[in-house]
Every structure is written in structure tokens, then in C-alpha cells.
Amino acid sequence: MMFQKDLETMPRGEIEKIQLERLKRLVAYCYDNVPFYHDRLDAAGVTPDKIKTLDDIKYIPYTTKADMRDNYPFGLFAVPQSKIARIHASSGTTGKPTVVGYTKNDLEMWSDCMARLVTAAGADENTIVQICFGYGLFTGALGLHYGLEKIGATVVPSSSGNTEKQIMLMKDFGTNALVSTPSYAQYIGELAREKGVLGDLKLKLGLFGSEGCTIEMRNAIENTLGLFATDNYGMSELNGPGVSGECRERCGMHINEDHFLAEIIDPQTGEVLPRGSEGELVITTLTKEGMPVLRYRTKDITRIDYEPCACGRTFARMDKPKGRSDDMLKIRGVNVFPSQIETVLMSFEEIAPHYQLILTRENYSDRLEIKVELKEAYAGMLDNFPKLEELHTKITKEMKTVLGISTKLTLMGSKTLERFQGKAKRIVDLRSSG
Ligand code: DLL
């Protein structure tokens, strides 16, 4: 099933034709309506008529999160307040959040994008979906909410938190789809098992997103909850969710390319990389009216595949992001992505999907401690030293092979590490605080 089949299956030439038309219009729109872009483009010597091909986008300067902060709150809006129908803001923990304004058309485009993605994931009018993202300034809940309503699903806006009640509603309503972060899904499963009601849940589909989740972690969640999980990606600065998402093939997340133009650049040099390369994702919003964005540096590291998918969709597919360039841990000079650690941990049967990474500095040298829980069924190992030691050695060795550095591994009892209702915070970096 597709929500907008004619658009989702356009030949590549057609997609690029639409993208070029829209890009030209967008650059002129930004130039004329947003003083920030007017000045940026002038300084770079780019007038809208310089854009003749899609490649010419390279002349346009990048936009960063700092630019958004500097223009807080409404400096990047391209329309007067009377045309703004809704405002969202990033969850930014430090300083001012980044603010996004949507016109009525933007909200319509956003829910179309979401409707496509949830349909691709397998949702339809028989879906009863509990949305366990926090409702509010965060884009996750309302983004999924309007997309799911649009396709006729039954939406239960239960928001995040109060997990016991979530589980009760899930059971009583016969909820068959769950929207949440992967880490919250894992926690819901764990609590449902503890309460002895896991077998009463009717969940079939998980629409996860908003944080990284390796395939190994996804398998663990699917096993716990007995559902089929898909991943979707987006960020506040670009609407929220709805930029891209997986279809049932799960071989990359289809980018809504008629609304979002994607590039991959070298995060160090800013140079545009050839198709198929891994690098930082840069997105231009092709159709947004309220707060259009030119060449936004997402900081997310991924790769884009332009081959058509077995599902019939022709929109390019981005890999699950390997991580954010600013989440990359530099340990004794070696770059490590938390997702690599997650992959190793989850490949061991005895290990539960709950871990924490603690970074410290001792004698001018970085140290990475990996704390991870054993599955409940293997908790007895904690009293069986030889067995524990054997597992410990195996994991440590594998970690060294994959990461190229030594780490300290601590195997923990069940339910000793923190659980999360939103995005998991697994990295504790104590290096700067001594
Ligand atoms: O997390 C938007 C969203 C909500 C996406 C619900 C999907 C579902 P922010 O809070 O601004 O927005 O965070 C954006 O989260 O730059 C990525 O680093 C990360 N992220 C989002 N989705 C994924 C994903 C929302 N599927 C930042 N896989 C992005 C990995 C993701 N990382």
C-alpha cells in the first residue's frame, strides 16, 4: 500500500525535475523573504538565478544550528505571524531551543509525509495506535498523530510516561501499534513482562524513531514485544519526523525527496561527497513556507542509496544514521560510534538491551567503561565466577576487534541501569569535569 503512489514511484528523472523547479523557487523565496538568507546569499555572491542545475546547490552556504539559535525565536520565519499556524521547538537541553513555525500548508505537507511513512510501515485504518511520545513542543507526537489520523488509523494520544497505565490501555483497547522511542518500547515490554501481561498485548507494529537503534537492538525489541518494527527519521529543524522512514523491506529509510533534498558532505571539510559515500546528511526543505531551510547540516552520519526499492518506491533510501558527528566518541584518538558498541553487545545472547557508556580521563588517557545488564535468565551467572569471566573475556575481545581499542566492561544484574521514557541518555562523559 502507498499513500501517494504516483509521487512515491516517480522515475528518478521526474523526481529531479521537480526538485530543481522547487529549489529555484525556494532560493528566490528565501532571498526575498528572510533577511538572514538574503545577506548570506549576497555574501556568497549567489543570486537566485545562479541555480540552473541541482548541482548548483553547492554555491549556497550551509545553515547550522548556531544560525537558528542566533535568530531565536522567529528570525528565520519567511511569513508574518498571522500566517503561522503552529510553533514547535527542539528539546535543546542547554540554552535557547531552536524554534520552527509552520503555515497551514506546511502542516498539510507534514502530515502527508507522515501518512506516506506510516503506510509504508504497514499501518492502515485497522491500526489502533498508542502514541507514546511526549505531546508538546516536541515534534514527535503531533507529527505521527496527524499522519496516522490522515490514513484513518485509530489514534490514542497517550503521551509518554505513566507506563503501567500505558500497558493497561494497550491491553484494554487492543492497541496493535506503538509509536515511541525504541528505548521506551523496550521498557514497556520489560514492565509488561514483569506484570505478567505481556501475552495479553496485541501489538503487531512498532513505529519507532527519534533516536538511533541498531538492527540488533531492533531484534531484541521485536522479540520482547512480538511486533514488526520500522524506523523513521527527522528533526525539529526540518518539521520533525517525516523526513524519511522504512518500508516493510527495511533496507534504508525512504526520503520524501519531493519535499526534502538530501546531500552527503564531508563533515570536516564541508565538501559534497559523491553518491554512495558515507558522510554528514545535509537537507534543504523544498516546499516549506513558514521556515524554509537551505542546506541544513544535520550532523547525522549516513549514506544514501538511489536505487529503486523492492517495494516499488523510487525515493532514495538513507541508512539508519550511524550516529551524530558530535556523539562520536574520540577515545585515545580513535573514533568510536556508540552504535558500534551496541551492535557488539547485542550480538551476545546473555546480554540485555540496557547499557551505559562512561568516559573518564586518567593519567591524561581516556577510558571507556561499558556497563551492561545481563538478561534476567542469565542473572545466576553473577554468582558463577568462571562462567562470568568467560563471557566477560569474549565480549571484551570482540569489542577490541571491532573498535580497535581496549575498554573496561562491567556486567551488571538485571534492572540496575536507568530506563528511559523518551530518548535514551546512554553516554556519561566525565572527561571535562575531571
Ligand atoms: O527526534 C524528530 C523525530 C520524532 C523523528 C519522532 C522521528 C520520530 P529532534 O528531537 O530534533 O527531532 O532530534 C533530531 O534525533 O538529528 C538524529 O540525531 C536523531 N534521530 C531522529 N530520528 C532518528 C532515527 C526528532 N530514526 C535528532 N535514527 C536527529 C537515529 C535519529 N537517530
What secondary structure does DSSP assign to 86-100, as a single string? Answer: EEEE---SSSSPPEE
Tell whether ligand 1 has an atom less than 6 A from the beta carbon of residue 324.
yes
Asked if residue 392 and residue 305 are part of one domain, the reply reads no
Which residue's CA lies nearest to atom 12 of ligand 1? 235
Residue 405 reports pLDDT greater than 60: yes
Q: How far is the CA of 139 from the centre of ligand 1 (A)?
A: 10
Say how many Å lie between the CA of residue 300 and the centre of ligand 1: 9
C-alpha cell at 313: 518506491
Residues 306 and 336 in one domain: no
Secondary structure of 273-342 as H, E, C letters? CCCCCEEEEEEEECCCCCCCCCCEEEEEEEEEECCCCCCCCCCCEECCCCEEHHHCEEECCEEECHHHHH
Split into its structural domains, the chain has a count of 2
Residues 203-219 have pLDDT tens digits of: 999 999 999 999 999 99
Query: Is residue 409 domain-resident?
Result: yes
211 Cβ inside 6 Å of ligand 1: yes
Whether residue 347 sits in one domain with residue 315:
no
CA distance 320 to 302: 7
Half-sphere exposure of 53 (CA within 13 A, CB side): 2
Residue 320 CA: nearest ligand 1 atom is: 28
H-helix or E-strand containing 245?
A: strand 240-246
- pLDDT band, very low/low/confident/very high, at 93 (cuts 50, 70, 90): low
- Give the up-direction half-sphere exposure of residue 276: CA atoms within 13 A in the CB hemisphere: 1
Kind of pairing between the strands at 205-209 and 228-235: parallel
Is 115 part of a structural domain of the chain?
A: yes
Asked if residue 74 belongs to a domain, the reply is yes
Percent composition of the chain: helix, strand, coil (DSSP 3-state, to 5):
40, 25, 40
Q: What is the pLDDT of residue 348?
A: 97
| 271 and 353 housed in the same domain | no
Find out whether the beta carbon of 319 lies less than 6 Å from any atom of ligand 1. no
Q: Give the CATH number of the domain where residue 349 resides.
A: 3.30.300.30
Residues 6+ apart with CB under 8 A from 23: 51, 54, 57, 261, 284, 286
From the alpha carbon of 253, which atom of ligand 1 is closest?
26
Last residue of a domain, one of 319, 345, 365: 319
How many Å apart are CA 224 and CA 353, to the nearest integer? 11
Q: Domain check: are 313 and 375 in the same one? A: no
* Environment class of 382 (CB within 10 Å of its CB; exposed 0-12, middle 13-18, buried 19+): middle
Residue 241 counted as domain residue = yes
**324, part of any domain:** no
Is the Cα torsion angle 290, 292, 297, 298 positive or negative in sign?
A: positive
**Ligand 1 centroid vs 390 CA: distance in angstroms?**
37
Q: Name which of 333, 340, 331 is nearest 301 in CA terms.
A: 340
The secondary element (H helix, E strand) that includes residue 368 is strand 365-374
Determine which of 122-136, 241-255, 321-335 has the lowest per-residue pLDDT on average. 321-335
Residue 221 Cα to ligand 1 midpoint, Å, equals 18
pLDDT beyond 60 at 434: no
Identify whether residues 160 and 45 lie together within a single domain. Answer: yes
Query: Are 298 and 158 in the same domain?
Result: yes
Q: Is 375 in the pocket of ligand 1 (CB under 6 A)?
A: no
**Position 214 in a domain:** yes
Asked if the model's pLDDT at residue 164 lies above 60, the reply is: yes
Q: Ligand 1 pocket, 241 CB below 6 A?
A: yes
Q: Is 294 found in the same domain as 192? A: yes
CA of 54 to the centre of ligand 1 (A): 26
- Residue 232 inside a domain? The answer is yes
Whether residue 362 is found in the same domain as residue 302:
no
CA of 364 to the centre of ligand 1 (A): 34
Domain boundary among 296, 319, 342: 319
Averaged pLDDT for residues 297-311: 97
- Domain boundary residue, one of 319, 337, 372: 319
- Quick one: 68 and 177 in the same domain? yes
CB-CB neighbours of 334 under 10 Å:
12
Question: For the whole model, what pTM was predicted?
Answer: 0.95
Nearest alpha carbon to residue 407 among 373, 366, 352, 374: 366
Residue nearest to atom 1 of ligand 1 (CA): 210
CA atoms of 133 and 184, how far apart (whole Å): 9
Cβ atoms of 48 and 23 within 8 Å: the answer is no
Which pLDDT score, from 0 to 100, does residue 96 have?
A: 83
Q: What is the pLDDT of residue 268?
A: 93
Whether residues 374 and 279 share a domain: the answer is no
In a domain, 183, yes or no: yes
* Domain identity same for 286 and 417: no
pLDDT at 280 over 50: yes
Range of the domain at 206: 1-319
Q: What pLDDT shows up at residue 94?
A: 67
User: 78: domain CATH number?
Assistant: 3.40.50.12780
DSSP SS3 for 29: helix
Q: Which amino acid is at 378?
A: Y
Does residue 114 register a pLDDT over 80? yes
Ligand 1 touching residue 98 (CB < 6 A)? no
